[in-house]
Amino acid sequence: MNSLPLENVPQKRPTKKVSFFRDVIETLLLALVLFIAINLVSARVKVEGFSMQPTLDHQQFVLVSRLTPRFIPLQRGDIVVFRPPMYPHATWLETLIGLPGVHSEFEDYIKRVIGLPGETVTVRDGQVWINGTWLNEPYVAEPPRYEGRWEVPEGYVFVLGDNRNNSSDSHSWGVLPIENILGKAILVYWPFSAWKVLDSGPVVQAAP
């Protein structure tokens, strides 16, 4: 009985249908990997409310970097998105798929970091003071009409809205655990006419 050489044996090739479904699956897997990777380092946030005016307006969309504070330390003046301490922590699934933006009965807030761990924040006479030194804040809508003094423990920060007298923030519910912070807002990307980079300044401590 004669046999064909191995290289001449006809090879079974996948049908066009099998090849199509394989390509679809590979594309979906790649898209899933990219989706997870992007959401591990960033999030997209829609601003709701007016507590950050004039810096941020209602219904603007903001890109958030998750690298802060996990890999990049927080700085005074950073604008951060977080789950307030009076609400339960976000689930791992919510965090993975890009919280906020997931329907939830608990809101996530966006405010500015004012006091860092170990500092004392005092508000009096319409001014904010850090360890007895006046903080120059050209970004606020108007001077605060409240007064108080807060100690910021290690592992916490003190956050305020730029619209000081129309903001639910640390002056009303206390200091914020750093572990509650989703990330740092880095730019406004929509509407396009409002596009701008959000930096940490200018925040200047003047002489006491």
Task: Indicate the DSSP class of residue 180.
Answer: G
User: 51 an active-site residue?
Assistant: yes
Annotation marks residue 111 as catalytic: yes
Catalytic residue among 3, 17, 65, 111: 111
Helix (H) or strand (E) holding 96: helix 92-96
- Measured CA to CA, the distance from residue 167 to residue 128 in angstroms comes to 15
CA distance 141 to 117: 25
Which residue in 196, 185, 192 sits closest to 42, CA to CA?
185
Sheet holding 204-205, edge to edge: 148-151, 120-124, 127-130, 133-136, 204-205
Q: Which of 16, 17, 19, 51 is catalytic?
A: 51
- Which residues are annotated as catalytic? 51, 111
